[in-house]
Amino acid sequence: MKVLELYSGIGGMHFALKCSGVEGEVKASIDINPVANLVYQHNFPDVTSFNRNIQSLSPKFINKLDVDTLLMSPPCQPFTRNGLQLDVEDERTKSFIHILKILPDLNIERILIENVKGFETSQMRDLLIDALKKWDFNYQEFILSPTQVGVPNTRHRYYCLAKKSPAVFNFDVEILKTELPLPHNCENINNYNIGEIIEKHQDSSFKYLEDKILTKHVKILDICHSNSRNSCCFTKAYGRYIEGTGSVFTEEPGDIVRSIFEQLSTLDSQSQEYLQLAQKLKLRFFTPREISRLMSFPESFSFPDSVKNRQRYMLLGNSINVKVVAELIKLLK
């Protein structure tokens, strides 16, 4: 594979290619976010990385890169359930529409696309499928989660694989698959414990959750302990907002957590006794390193020191699960 990585972010697709074991090279990466590009270049200093708007790319420019594969994760905000769901009316879809318009002029044989769950029912998805059909690509759509490949994190995402005809897939194509086809299907795999991704020593900024968070939100938090086998999807708002942005962690065992919650249910949330009991949970946010592990980034992945934790959470929340995409790259090849 000679890969052009579009909307390259912090390099999740590149790491997935490496993880897949498929022979290939990322010839270039393109993203408009300068901080994401800084992280990408920090991890892949030898890759030609462009900081530019994808709408500005011409067929001549792309073909000059000598690529035959597109790996991309276009902006998901137009399709997220918490967003305005403007779909193709959202300005952030324009670059993706541009790529579809110039597709027939590109020397592309394979495509892998990732997006948020919900994309599969969008107008943008219809434009994508119409373009693939028109320009003679065979395709397969998926909704998959990392839990299906043994990762203790729920992160349902839409994926589409496409191959230029006459190339075909080595599995039966269906309208929408919700599992990886055999022999890749990992249905019976056991997820590892959350404890295996926990950093032994966190820096001093990762203290226990503030009292006001405990008082207001403790009952709606998804709490993981070392023996937990799953965690919630981490979003770019993690660490700034509480509800629906990802799980939190406690070193206390599960039976202690359950006992404390039984006692909390009998108390007034505004009472001092309630707060003191909630404090015993010793809850904290997961660190960026821990989240990167849950998203299957390798230990070699790192952020430049200049990128602050708030930016790290945002970049990770916009990224992909490396292991899931690695399995899809195997199917694409």
- 19 is a catalytic site residue: no
Cα dist. 163→125, 167, 174, 227 in Å?
17, 6, 15, 41
The DSSP bridge partners found for residue 223 are 248
Task: Report the distance separating Cα 146 and Cα 39, nearest Å.
Answer: 23
Cα dist. 199→186, 206, 286, 289, 294 in Å?
27, 11, 9, 8, 12
Query: Of 66, 93, 65, 71, which Cα lies nearest the Cα of 8?
Result: 71
Residues with Cβ < 8 Å from 1, sequence gap 6 or more?
A: 17, 22, 23, 24, 25, 68, 69, 110, 329, 333
Kindly tell me the burial class for residue 183, based on how many C-beta atoms sit within 10 Å of its own C-beta (0-12, 13-18, 19 or more). exposed
Neighbours of 160 (CB within 10 A): 22
CB-CB contact of 14 with 8 (8 Å)? yes
Output the six-digit token pair for 302.
Answer: 């790192």
Of these residues, 19, 76, 224, 233, which one is catalytic?
76
Phi, psi of 236 (to 5 degrees): -70, -15
114: helix, strand or coil: strand
157: helix, strand or coil: strand
CB-CB contact of 183 with 152 (8 Å)? no
Q: Annotated active-site positions, please? A: 76
